[in-house]
Structure 1
């Protein structure tokens, strides 16, 4: 009896760690995903479909990789990629063109697995410029909590205060609990005669569903969305994800991981999923000793994470409905708070090397400006400007 109890306790610990990993990863950034998909033309139903597709594909990717390689390998949606979509806005060709760009990203990830040279080209982009581009993309979203206080103080201030207190006493749960507070704000708003959107919400919209879109391909979407999305996903998610796992003693099988996440992205793209990748920040929750003292048993946490993502995906339409019902500025504030950590890390890495600081600053300013030419988003021009300035400043140097 005692032996059975000990065995159950040993099994429950990594399972609980996987559940926590999924809860933190999902609730911390689903608002960013919905914001990004909506910005590039997705309707409410299409954004909910994209959230479900991402939850299912990254859940299956976690299960496959963790089970096959007996490592706590976890997958996630590309949160920086979703922020990039939010900053890019509508593109030529609308939502079908955005879906086409997602498919191109999937093809590039698969090519990265099959052709190592592509990964080398990504690695050749100076980290300072890649991170400066990401920081510039994140800047407008990270300002949302500040501007939101002016737009809707009674709705946003409780969310920000919850985040601040939890950031002090329970940092891991700061954003999820800020979302819980936002949910309370939404419910109170509806109960007191809040947004009229609630009366028009079809109950059927709360059921999970996948809606498929026939993709189209435009130059603006390929250059302005697909290329920056691929670079951000690789530089800010996949490469750091491998490094995080290595810090806990796990050598992630690169090619299989890219094949699985590339296939997952390809399968989810027609339903609205922008990209899945190796988890970076949340990877530590399943791979650390806190998840399970025995490194050889932590793969159970990876499988548990995947199963939990699939279950959370069932409620994707409900989460999407909360965004529709939310008072002004509340959900953008949650999304901005969720990106504070990524923004701070990107800024630090962008300006860390004094010799690379000027190109990084130019990249950051162009990306943060939001300017778009010929239907191509600011992220691409920021990358181009940073590389150009760097080439001029470094001309003649060894």
Structure 2
């Protein structure tokens, strides 16, 4: 697939939105938002409970990451006419489950600010873009395929746990994919909701809606928190979120510059950190939902899904923690099936692209296997180590390492 150069300009692209609007893109944006809240937000709850945060501080945290994700997704999607999906750092939230209990909350806020400042600097300086140029596309697509694989597998795992819900959704998707592929995900979601309602599995009785009052926390800075939390948070966000996020865009044919995307999310993180946001970054999983053909057959019109996703973030974020009860009321199997089916196209295209170059096929395979292994070293997830393993393998197999060794061997021969 040849990457498509996307138009850039907020004002110019705003005029195209009515003509490019599609219901399928809006629904896909909604699904991406649902996936964000249904899974990663649980980790935020766990971290907040472990740290003993108040309900107001937790609601403010959810408000901050939602508003930050929503605004950056809308702005960047319109700016580059690309479905740029942003989210909060899930690996960062995992890191906080253990780390947030160690430091005072105000010191943690200071560490968030430090991490955001470094990420912004990497984006503004263009250093992140330079580093990404040394990573072959086959490796980034293999990494993406490894990330997406578990979501595809979960579709059929859910069939074992709740077949009465999963099977109708799968068959609906297959039939719709044949006769109405553009609305396959939309129809599947509606069927899933209808079946869940008929089975009495929609638990929405306890939903109470209330607006959030954001809580500002004055940051304090300690060397311990910066070293123990700020630096690891920066590393896992760049390695496990921003790098795969750029890989998703490239895999689906978007040649969007990385620097302004990273810089914009870094600035948003800086502004919202005092309200509890641990970091806004490029999304990978939810981005793959919006960048695929399920959003729109036309590559240039999928950015509507990014705008829709951002808009739903803003709406949900205004209600903070209470809005998450809506998603907790849905069967987890419904979320797993609809997310997995929505990612089928991205998974298949990623696998195809990863293995398309014979010279880089083995490098892509190593990347894929390391990524699906789920290993975590130093708090950094398998996606990053898969990327590193693929680059090293490519250097050994296709680089000039052999010539270097031969030259060194010749230089080391004793003189006759």
Q: Does 1:264 align with 2:273?
A: no
Instruction: Say if 2:33 and 2:313, in contact at 8 Å, map to a contact too.
Output: no
Structure-1 separation of matches of 2:116 and 2:376 = 24
Provide Cα deviations, 1:253-295, integer angstroms capped at 9, x if missing partner. Answer: 876555434323544663466424797855997996997xxxx
1:186 counterpart (192, 196, 199): 196
1:168–1:198: structure 2 CA closer, same or farther, 3 Å change rule? same
Label 1:94 to 1:165 Cα distance change in 2 as closer, same or farther (>3 A): farther
Asked if 2 retains the 8 angstrom alpha-carbon contact of 1:104 and 1:226, the reply is no
Aligned CA distance change for structure 1 residues 373 and 171 (closer, same or farther; 3 Å): same
Q: CA deviation at 1:319?
A: 6.6
Instruction: After superposition, give the CA deviation of every residue in 1:208-264 in whole Å (9 maximum; x if it has no partner).
Output: 547779896177655555422121122323x568x64x7xxxxx7876555434323
Q: Is the 8 A contact 1:129 1:387 kept in 2?
A: yes
| 2:35 is equivalent to residue 32 of structure 1 | yes
Aligned to 1:60: 71
Q: Taking structure 1 as reference, are residues 226 and 289 closer, same or farther at Cα in structure 2, changes over 3 Å only?
A: closer
Relative to structure 1, is the Cα distance of residues 163 and 306 closer, same or farther in structure 2, using a 3 angstrom cutoff?
A: same
Alignment partner for residue 346 of structure 2, among 321, 334, 342? Answer: 342
> Quick check: which has more Rg, 1 or 2?
2
More helix by share: 1
SS of the aligned residue for 2:133 comes to helix
* Partner Cα separation in structure 2 for residue 352 and residue 183 of structure 1: 38
Please give the alpha-carbon distance, in whole angstroms, between the structure 1 residues aligned to 2:339 and 2:363: 28
Q: 2:168 maps to which residue? A: 158
Higher deviation after alignment, 369-378 or 112-121: 369-378
Q: CA RMSD in A?
A: 4.8
CA distance in 1, matches of 2:109, 2:358: 39
Structure-2 residue corresponding to 1:333: 337
Q: What residue number does 1:365 align with?
A: 369
Q: How has the CA–CA distance of structure 1 residues 106 and 168 changed in structure 2, closer, same or farther, with 3 Å as cutoff? A: farther
Match 1:396 to one of 383, 396, 402: 402
Q: Would the aligned equivalents of 1:139 and 1:368 in 2 still touch at CA under 8 Å?
A: yes
Which of 229, 235, 257 pairs up with 2:247?
Answer: 235
Q: Deviations over 1:135-185 (max 9, x none)?
A: 112211210111111111012112222222222233333223322333223
Please report the TM-score for the alignment, with normalisation by the length of structure 2: 0.66
Counterpart for residue 295 of structure 1 = none
- 1:174 match: 184
Q: Does residue 140 of the first structure (1) align with residue 150 of the second (2)?
A: yes
The normalised TM-score by structure 1 is: 0.68
Structure 1 residues 73, 99: closer, same or farther in 2, change over 3 A? Answer: farther
* Kept after mapping to 2: 8 A contact 1:182/1:331: no
| 1:302-330: CA deviation from partner (whole Å, max 9, x where unpaired) | 98886676446557868733432233522
CA contact (8 A) 1:47 1:320 kept: no
Which deviations, in whole Å up to 9, do the C-alpha atoms of 1:8-61 show, x marking residues without a partner? xxx999437447476234223224323551464544999997776565445434
Contact 1:102/1:226, CA 8 A, preserved across alignment: no
Q: Point out the more displaced range, 14-23 or 91-100.
A: 91-100
CA-to-partner distance for each residue in 1:310-356, whole Å, 9 max, x for gaps?
44655786873343223352221222122222222221222111111
Matches within 5 A, 1:61-210: 61=72, 64=75, 72=81, 75-77=84-86, 85=91, 90-91=94-95, 93-94=97-98, 96=100, 106-107=116-117, 110-190=120-200, 194=201, 201=206, 203-204=207-208, 206-207=209-210, 209=212
Task: Write out per-residue CA displacement over residues 59-85 of structure 1, whole angstroms, 9 at most, x where no aligned residue.
Answer: 434665688x6x746542259x86xx5
Separation of aligned partners in 1, 2:234 and 2:118:
12
Cα 1:315/1:275, change in 2 over 3 Å: same
CA distance in 2, matches of 1:342, 1:100: 38
Taking a change above 3 Å as real, the CA distance of residues 220 and 258 of structure 1, as seen in their structure-2 partners, is closer
TM superposition shift of 1:368: 0.8
CA distance in 1: counterparts of 2:240 and 2:340, whole angstroms: 20
Looking at structure 2, the residues matched to 62 and 92 of structure 1 have their Cα atoms a distance apart, in angstroms, of 24
Counting only pairs closer than 5 Å after superposition, residues 243-322 of structure 1 correspond to structure 2 as: 244=254, 258-267=262-271, 270-271=276-277, 274-276=280-282, 281-282=290-291, 310-311=314-315, 320-322=324-326
Does 306-315 or 384-393 show the bigger shift? 306-315
Q: Report the number of matched residues.
A: 360
Q: CA deviation at 1:128?
A: 1.8
Instruction: Report the alpha carbon displacement of residue 187 of structure 1 after superposing the two structures with TM.
Output: 2.6
SS of structure 1 residue aligned to 2:376: coil
